[in-house]
Structures are given as C-alpha cells and as structure tokens.
C-alpha cells in the first residue's frame, strides 16, 4: 500500500487577488518614492544614480497613479535639459553624485563645452546622445490622469513646443537614411544597449583602450549579466568620437534605423496630435507625419520571411538579420496592414519567442545564435517591452494574449523584487532590484488593466 503524505500543518489558504494586488501596489509605490530625488526619479539608487530619458517617460506613466503633479515634474525636469537643436539627452546628471559613481560621467561627455554648437545647456551637464521618444505618449497619459490640474498648470502648453522640437530633431537631423525614419548613432540610444542587432555594425569600431576608462557598472552588476569589455570599449569609442565632433550628426560609423525607436516615434506623434489640439495647435501636422512614418517603417524595416521588423544598418544599407523584441514592438502602431499584424502575432507565440510558454517576451529570439538568458538585452525579458507589446495586443483585438502578458508581468515583478529584467524561462530576477520603470509600469497595469490607446 502506498503511504499517504500528510502535511504537518494546515495548508495556507489562497491569498485573494485583491490583497495580492494591494501588496504589489504598495511595493511599487515604495520603489518610486525611494528613488525620487526631489525633481526626478533615478532608475536605481546604485547602478543608475542619475535621470535617464526613456526611463523617466515610463516612470511618469506610473507616477500619474500616485501623483499627477509629480509625474508632470518628472517630464518637466527631463525636458528642462533639452538642447537647442531639439535633442533630449539620454542622461541628465545630478551634480551631487560623485563622478566615480557612474561611467561615462559628466567629465567624459563634456556637454556644456563639446555640445555648445548644438545648443547644449550651459548650466546642466548631460550626455550627448538620445533615447527612444516615449515622451509625448507619457505627457498625454499624465495629462489625462488629472486634466484640471494639468490645465491649471499649463502643463501641455509648456510641453508642446519642447516635444515638437524633439520630434523635429529626430525627423530631420537624424533622418540619416533619407526616407524619414529616425536613426540611432550609438547602441545606447535605442535603449537595448547590448542587443545582438548591434554586433555587425559594431564590428567596424575599434574599441577604446581599456586603460582609458573604468567600468563603474561592474561595481553593482554581475559581469555575466553585463556587456563584455570588448563591446563596452566600442561603446566608449563611439561616444568619444561623437563628442569630439561636437555632437554633429552626419558621417557616423554606426547608424541604424531601429523599429522600436520609430514605432515609439509614430505613437508619440499621434499623442502629440492630441496634445496639439489641447494646446490650440494643428493636430493634422502630427497625424500626417505619423502616417508617413508608418509607411516608411513598413517599406524599409518589415521582413516577411523573418516574421517581424528588422533593423537597417545605414552604413551597409542592409537589414540586420537578427530577431529581437524591437521587431515586435511596432504592434503598438495603429493602422498596420492586416497581414503584418497576423504575422507579428504568430511570431510572438511561435518558436522564436514562445511567449505563450514563457509568459514575458525574451529580448532576443530564443532560437538565435547569440541568445544568452542572463546577459543584458541578449535574451532576458524586460518589463517595458512587455508593457508596450501588451498595448499593441489590445490595439489589435488580442485581449486574451494581452491579459496573459499582463498576468506574467505582475507575477514576475512581484517575485523578482521589481527587477531590472528577468530570466525568460524561470522569471528569476537579474540586474538591479527596485528598478523604477518596473515599479512604475506595475502600477499602471494594476490601475489600467484595459490599456487606453492613443491614436
């Protein structure tokens, strides 16, 4: 006879979902309050002790559920460091933080001097590169959280000219391919720093001398999770070359059209149309630009055989044959052809990403030759890309898939301690913990399970 296994104590009753959500909401709020500096929010108190551009946009989207006023301040602080040519720098440095706490630090970028011709602010030190343009979308969602307070403070009226200048920079100075799409000129710009998509274009770059810099990221992150020393040396050399050229655009040795960056630009153009209307300007300018950008995105970056959008290397002129999550993010773009939407949905759950099995979406194809489940952007799943793809799924009527993704997101955020990113198979937290955009987007998914769509 088989012995029965009897528990030594009664099993704990299941925790009601409402109680779990409340605990998760309180935890996420704790992270954002703890990372607040008085004017903005740091992504991490250890690894990222300054203000980052697209982080602040995602953070503002979550902060609006705690304090619309603070969410407005987040974006105002970031755009207060905007350059005269319209670019929004990817880092705004806190002068109270020691130079040794982060590299490249202000004394490397030298923005107030090296960027003077491009209109870098004289009294604020920033980096000289940019990040994906999520800001108009964030500004519109923040406005909607408390329209009366937004109008009283003139929030959109002040944001509109800055956001317009930002998009103008991307569609003019960064239109390096000549077809209207914005190009990135450094792997840090698309935000997916260490993606295998950059391996080919980066191979043209001779790495900086390792003795010329010290990697502060390894003080707080495990080397197995972070970019290799060789890749990091290439990042440093590219940034130094851009700086030494006065941050002028043109003649770049690294220039890529990225589908995620341009999808976010399109969605933010639609958001800017709403902002324009609220601010008494013409929304049609932005709607038409969004439509032109959509056509260019499809004609230049869609690859039916790969089953998703690919990056285009503007130096070689060829598509980069690497499947990354960046190629799925265009699901957020309204008006995509039906066959493209169907293919993207098939790719999401197909053998390359297997989102129906893994829950969250890997940052690089599980089938890819460079897949690494722990190394930064070469396989781990990230929360911001899951949030974006979830919006796209709802936009195109795949509510069941969106809800599955939302549930996986909230579960991973809870069990990982609001990790920077997670193992795509196990959900184990990787990178730093108490990561601000993970907490912020957790708040947003808890507050708005049926995400609104700007179009």
397 vs 376, more confident:
397
Q: How confident is the model at residue 403 (pLDDT cuts 50, 70, 90)?
A: very high
Rounded to whole angstroms, the Cα distance separating 104 from 364 reads: 26
Average pLDDT, the chain: 92
Closest CA to 115 of 213, 251, 247: 247
Q: Pairing between strand 256-257 and 312-313?
A: antiparallel
Rounded average pLDDT over 273-292: 98
Which band of pLDDT confidence, cut at 50, 70 and 90, is reported for residue 232? confident
Q: What is the 3-state secondary structure (H, E, C) of 246-292?
A: CCCCCCCCCCEECHHHHHHHHHHHHHHHHHHHHCCCCCHHHHHHHHH
Provide the CA 11 distance to its chain's centre, in angstroms: 42
Q: Is the pLDDT of residue 11 over 50?
A: no
Give the least confident one: 175-179, 358-362, 401-405: 358-362
Q: Write the pLDDT tens digit of every residue in 91-102.
A: 999 999 999 999
Residues annotated catalytic, as ranges: 193, 420
Please name which of 195, 221, 222 lies closest in space to residue 363, comparing C-alpha atoms: 195
Flag whether pLDDT at 396 surpasses 60.
yes
Residue 443 has pLDDT above 70, yes or no: yes
* Angle (CA) 222 226 228, round 5°: 115
- This prediction's pTM: 0.93
Element holding 384 (H helix, E strand): helix 383-395
125 pLDDT above the threshold of 50: yes
Range 26-40 burial, b when 16+ CB lie within 10 A, else e: ebbbebbeebbeeeb
DSSP string, 144-193: HHSHHHHHHHTHHHHHHHHHHHHHHHHHHTT-TTSSSPPEESSTTTTS-T
Distance CA 454, CA 451 (A): 10
In this prediction, residue 212 carries a pLDDT of 73
């Amino acid at each position: 006879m088989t012995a029965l296994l009897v528990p030594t104590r009664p099993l704990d009753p299941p925790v009601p979902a409402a109680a779990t959500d409340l605990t998760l909401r309180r935890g996420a709020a704790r992270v954002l309050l703890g990372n607040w500096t008085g004017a903005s929010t740091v992504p991490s108190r250890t690894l990222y002790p300054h203000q980052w551009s697209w982080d602040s946009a995602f953070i503002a989207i979550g902060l609006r559920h705690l304090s619309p006023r603070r969410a407005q301040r987040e974006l105002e602080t970031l755009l207060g460091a905007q350059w005269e040519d319209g670019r929004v720098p990817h880092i705004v440095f806190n002068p109270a933080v020691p130079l040794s706490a982060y590299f490249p630090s202000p004394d490397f970028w030298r923005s107030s001097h090296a960027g003077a011709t491009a209109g870098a602010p004289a009294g604020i030190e920033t980096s000289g590169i940019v990040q994906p343009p999520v800001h108009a979308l964030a500004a519109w969602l923040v406005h909607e959280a408390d329209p009366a307070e937004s109008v009283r403070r003139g929030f959109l009226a002040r944001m509109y000219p800055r956001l317009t200048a930002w998009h103008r920079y991307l569609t003019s100075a960064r239109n390096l391919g000549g077809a209207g799409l914005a190009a990135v000129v450094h792997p840090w710009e698309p935000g997916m720093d260490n993606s295998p998509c950059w391996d080919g274009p980066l191979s043209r770059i001779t790495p900086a001398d390792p003795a010329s810099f010290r990697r502060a990221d390894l003080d707080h992150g495990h080397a197995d999770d972070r970019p290799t020393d060789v890749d990091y040396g290439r990042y440093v050399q590219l940034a130094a070359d851009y700086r030494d050229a006065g941050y002028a655009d043109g003649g770049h040795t690294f220039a890529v059209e990225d589908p995620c960056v341009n999808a976010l630009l399109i969605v933010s153009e639609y958001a800017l149309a709403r902002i324009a209307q609220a601010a008494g300007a013409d929304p049609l300018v932005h709607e038409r630009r969004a439509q032109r950008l959509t056509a260019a995105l499809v004609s230049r970056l869609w690859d039916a055989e790969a089953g998703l959008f690919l990056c285009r290397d503007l130096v070689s002129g060829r598509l980069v044959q690497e499947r990354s999550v960046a190629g799925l993010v265009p699901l957020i773009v309204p008006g995509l052809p039906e066959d493209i939407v169907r293919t993207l949905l098939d790719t999401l759950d197909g053998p390359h990403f297997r989102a129906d099995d893994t829950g969250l979406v890997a940052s690089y194809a599980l089938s890819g030759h460079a897949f690494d489940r722990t190394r930064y952007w070469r396989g781990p799943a990230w929360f911001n890309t899951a949030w974006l793809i979830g919006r796209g799924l709802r936009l195109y009527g795949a509510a069941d898939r969106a809800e599955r993704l939302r549930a996986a997101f909230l579960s991973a955020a809870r069990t990982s301690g609001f990790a920077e990113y997670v193992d795509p198979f196990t959900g184990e937290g990787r990178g730093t913990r108490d990561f601000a955009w993970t907490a912020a987007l957790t708040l947003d998914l808890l507050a708005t399970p049926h995400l609104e769509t700007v179009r």
